Structure 1
Amino acid sequence: MKLPAFFIAHGSPLLALEDNEYTRFLERLGQDLEAPRGIVVFSAHWDSPEQLLTVDGQHETLHDYYGFPDEMYSLTYPAPGDPALSRRIAALFKDNNLAHQPVLGRGLDHGVWVILNKMFPEANIPVVALSVDSLRSPQEQYDIGRMLAPLREEGILLIGSGGLVHNLRLLKQDDQPEEWATEFDAWVAEELDSWNLPELFAYDKKAPHASSAVPSYAREHFVPLFYVMGSADEGRKAQRMIQAYQYGTLSLNCWMLD
């Protein structure tokens, strides 16, 4: 059973409470997928110069945000971990000479659990979270994802969780997207459709409005795309499954990579 990989935007943490087009899409996606044996998530909210991975047998839920309604701090996603899967990932990293460190007791950040809570609300599928390094080159990020490609043939679902357009300083009161945001997303879509790695790897210089869509302080939200693209290097097929926006400058999209 070879599963596709996905880039999934996690948007605002409030998605955990919302019922809208995007959350309903995530619910359907989880129902339509063949049940994975485990889930591995590269999270934008775990940015580290060292490659880190969780090794817990049971995860706690991180409420790594502030200023939200009280209900947001009572939500939990008590998914199990899978130490054997963590060891398998560590072995793949070792085989490819990638320095890495196991992390015990971190919990799942909202970049992981908000989307999984919609896709797999029973929280009964083991999860391993992986860090990203927003300062690595796109090629390096892609190559790390490629190291994990064998997992897709072992019933493991690989997800990159972030946001292609993620500018918190330009948020609006409504969801009508800014024109520059849609133009950036359209550029990414065109290059993804043709798997144009040279252009995508140079997005900060080539894409329209890149500095607004991916400001320097939010680069970690864009780079999970490269990690999961690497895991689909053999097939190099990309399909955008949904496109929506939150607050005008947060892009909500899901790309299936195979």
Structure 2
Amino acid sequence: MKLPAFFIAHGSPLLALEDNEYTRFLARLSEDLEVPRGIVVFSAHWDSPEQLLTVDEQHETQHDFYGFPEEIYSLTYPAPGDPALSRRISELFKDHNLPHQPVLGRGLDHGIWVILQKMFPEANIPVVALSVDSLRSPHEQYQIGQMLAPLREEGILLIGSGGLVHNLRLLSEKDQPEAWAQEFDAWIAKRLETWDLPELFAFEKKAPHVREAVPSYAREHFVPLFYAMGAADEGRQAGLMIQAYQYGTLSLNCWMLD
């Protein structure tokens, strides 16, 4: 079976405790998929100049945040790893001369387990976590995703986990999203739907409100999109499955890439 790739916004860690439109969507999303043999996630919360990947047989749960209700720190997502899948990823990277390093004992950060807890609550599907490099060019990030495209034919689900509009300094208590956040998401959506790589790769110069949506200190949340897109380069089809907002500006969306 060939599985699609996804870009999935992981929002706030509080999503792990919430029951809302977005979390219910994530639960339904897994129901509509063939059960993957494994899950590979490029996480915004693992930003490194060198490509890193987990090689654990069993993952710990990172609570890599502070100031949240005590309840959230008791949540765990004890998913297994898959050393054989990690070796397969390493082989694909070697085939394309990409320097990379295995990492043992890192655990799954909240950019990974918060969404997987909703999608696959039994935590019984092996997971391999991959770092992103927010300082690489979008084209390079896309190429790394391309390297892993064969995994989709092998029953592996590829996910880029981040956030297209993710600026924690501009969150508010408003019920309605800010117009600038919607305009940025709409600009990205139009170019994703036509797979307009030149425009998307130049988003920092061309997208409206880009400094608010993708501040320099949070660029790592946007770039998982390019890794996920690269894994779907052959088909170049993008579909927006949900668009929601929290705190006025925090964009919660999911793109299926096939």
Unaligned runs of 5+ in 1: none
Aligned length: 258
Residue 175 (structure 1) shift: 3.9
Residue 249 (structure 1) shift: 1.4
User: Could you tell me which residue of structure 2 aligns to residue 203 of structure 1?
Assistant: 203
Q: How does 1:125-140 map to 2 (within 5 A)?
A: 125-140=125-140
Residue 153 (structure 1) shift: 0.2
- One-letter code aligned to 1:179: A
User: Could you tell me which residue of structure 1 aligns to residue 168 of structure 2?
Assistant: 168
Residue 173 (structure 1) shift: 1.2
Q: How does 1:209-228 map to 2 (within 5 A)?
A: 209-228=209-228
- One-letter code aligned to 1:232: A
Q: Deviations over 1:127-170 (max 9, x none)?
A: 00000000000000000000000000000000000000001001
Residue 174 (structure 1) shift: 3.0
User: Could you tell me which residue of structure 1 aligns to residue 148 of structure 2?
Assistant: 148
Q: Deviations over 1:27-85 (max 9, x none)?
A: 00011111000000000000000000000000000000000000111000000000000
Residue 217 (structure 1) shift: 0.5
- Residues 99 and 175 (structure 1 numbering): CA distance in 2 closer, same or farther, change over 3 Å? farther
User: Could you tell me which residue of structure 1 aligns to residue 71 of structure 2?
Assistant: 71
Q: Does 1:247 align with 2:257?
A: no
SS at the partner of 2:43?
A: strand
Q: How does 1:2-41 map to 2 (within 5 A)?
A: 2-41=2-41
User: Could you tell me which residue of structure 2 aligns to residue 194 of structure 1?
Assistant: 194
1:133 & 1:176 partners in 2: Cα distance?
Answer: 32
1:253 & 1:15 partners in 2: Cα distance?
Answer: 13
SS at the partner of 1:24?
A: helix
SS at the partner of 1:53?
A: strand
User: Could you tell me which residue of structure 2 aligns to residue 235 of structure 1?
Assistant: 235
Residue 236 (structure 1) shift: 0.2
- One-letter code aligned to 1:181: A
- One-letter code aligned to 2:233: D
- One-letter code aligned to 2:257: L
Structure 1 runs of 4+ aligned residues shifted over 4 Å read: none
User: Could you tell me which residue of structure 1 aligns to residue 57 of structure 2?
Assistant: 57
1:85 & 1:225 partners in 2: Cα distance?
Answer: 22
Q: TM-score, normalised by structure 2?
A: 0.99
1:23 & 1:156 partners in 2: Cα distance?
Answer: 22
SS at the partner of 2:129?
A: strand
2:175 & 2:241 partners in 1: Cα distance?
Answer: 19
SS at the partner of 2:3?
A: coil
SS at the partner of 1:255?
A: strand
Query: How high is the sequence identity, in percent, across the aligned residues?
Result: 85
2:128 & 2:136 partners in 1: Cα distance?
Answer: 21
2:175 & 2:118 partners in 1: Cα distance?
Answer: 20
1:220 & 1:246 partners in 2: Cα distance?
Answer: 19
SS at the partner of 2:78?
A: coil
User: Could you tell me which residue of structure 2 aligns to residue 182 of structure 1?
Assistant: 182
- One-letter code aligned to 2:216: S
- One-letter code aligned to 1:150: P
SS at the partner of 1:145?
A: helix
User: Could you tell me which residue of structure 1 aligns to residue 111 of structure 2?
Assistant: 111
Q: TM-score, normalised by structure 1?
A: 0.99
2:179 & 2:89 partners in 1: Cα distance?
Answer: 40
- One-letter code aligned to 1:3: L
SS at the partner of 1:86?
A: helix
- Residues 175 and 158 (structure 1 numbering): CA distance in 2 closer, same or farther, change over 3 Å? farther
